[in-house]
A = this chain, B = another copy of it.
């Protein structure tokens, strides 16, 4: 097994390290852009690589429905199919079954649902989720879990219990030795459930652990508190993955609380809605004030977009409904988060992350005279 996780330095709860995978080393903390359908939307792998992205995430639910895991397996697996030679993580399909599929029926054995694409009847179980992910061939695969409504205690407990049972079955079903299976902590916003879940999940000897069921409607303080509760219990020598979180400020808050891996569609979804992430806030590039702005999205940024194009040009593309605007802003947004994670990692190694994050967050929200808009 080549999934060695090495922590190079810690500063309070923040950790900087490396995770070895069959497709290369991941420097942590790391942010994984999302390539739902075996493509990070609007970007070629070459463009994606130019952002500094390393680990990317693909969605089992989507790929299972279309084009199918057997087809991807025949084409040499996901890395070969989409031509991404660096590490890939697949989720288990659980989250999408609960958020996208129609007419789902959950039982203790698994979930029956109708495809959101063609209405066809489908079923996923822990065993199937593992088998599909083994066909896809990602470096990191996720246990099949049930994400509850965050404020429904009874349901959260039930879903947590199923998630625990299903993790056992996933571990038992897993055959490939070259994939790392991560378990997922559930439990809504309820501290006792989260503790119980972290204790159970953390007691399984796994190469990594994830916190699920966050960024699904709870408040930010609830999210941060939950991360703290869980990370106090999870084994400190294994990577910790916070699922579905990806604003610049939440990356900082997450790292402060001991998170090593993040993923989120935000960077690319915002980009397709004309919004750029910068280190001082968000820019709505559709705003008419950018019509004649010769500056790049972010001064000093070294991404292809900022080295090449003005805000005026990108705004023109947006107004003209040219999809290239989404491509260019996606390149910037992903690059910006990658670069932020690099700075965070270096700061932790140099024992100045506390200072870095304080300075970063104050500039992010309050820099006087900046042109940041809060739009999405």
Chain A, 55-99, contact with B by CB distance < 8 Å: what is the 0/1 string?
Answer: 000000010001100010011100001110000000000000000
Inter-subunit contact B43/A320 (CB<8 Å): no
Instruction: Give the Cβ gap from A312 to chain B, nearest Cβ, in Å.
Output: 5
Q: Which residues on B sit within 8 Å (CB–CB) of A327?
A: 42, 44, 327
CB closest residue in chain B, given A328:
B44
**19 A-B contacts, Cβ less than 8 Å apart?**
A37-B320, A38-B313, A39-B322, A41-B322, A42-B327, A44-B47, A44-B327, A44-B328, A45-B308, A46-B304, A46-B308, A67-B291, A71-B291, A71-B312, A75-B294, A76-B294, A82-B313, A83-B309, A323-B323
Contact size range, A = 35 or more
A216 within 8 A of B: no
A21-48 with Cβ < 8 A to chain B: 37-39, 41-47
Query: Nearest CB to that of A42 among chain B residues?
Result: B323
Smallest CB gap from A324: residue in B: B39
A310 contacts chain B at the CB level, 8 A cutoff: yes
A324 interface neighbour in B43, B291, B315, B324, Cβ under 8 Å: B43
CA distance in complex: A185, B309 (Å):
37
A292: interface (CB < 8 Å): yes
**Residue pair A81, B41 in contact (C-beta under 8 Å):** no
Contact pattern, A 301-314, Cβ under 8 Å of B = 1, otherwise 0: 00010001110110
What B residues does A43 contact at CB under 8 A?
324
| A residues in contact (CB < 8 Å) with B | 37-39, 41-47, 62, 66-67, 71, 74-76, 81-83, 291-292, 294, 304, 308-310, 312-313, 315-317, 319-320, 322-324, 326-328
Closest to A70 in B: B292
> Nearest residue in B to A308 (C-beta to C-beta)?
B83
Which residues of chain B come closer than 8 Å to A320, judged between CB atoms?
Answer: 37, 39, 62, 66-67
Taking the closest CB of chain B, its distance from the CB of A327, in whole angstroms, is: 7
Residues of B within 8 A of A75 (CB): 292, 294, 310, 312-313
Residues in B with CB closer than 8 Å to A304 are 44, 46
Complex Cα gap A76–B304 (Å) = 20
Q: Which residue of B lies closest to A62 (CB)?
A: B320
Instruction: Tell me which residues across on chain B come within 8 A of A326, comparing CB atoms.
Output: 323
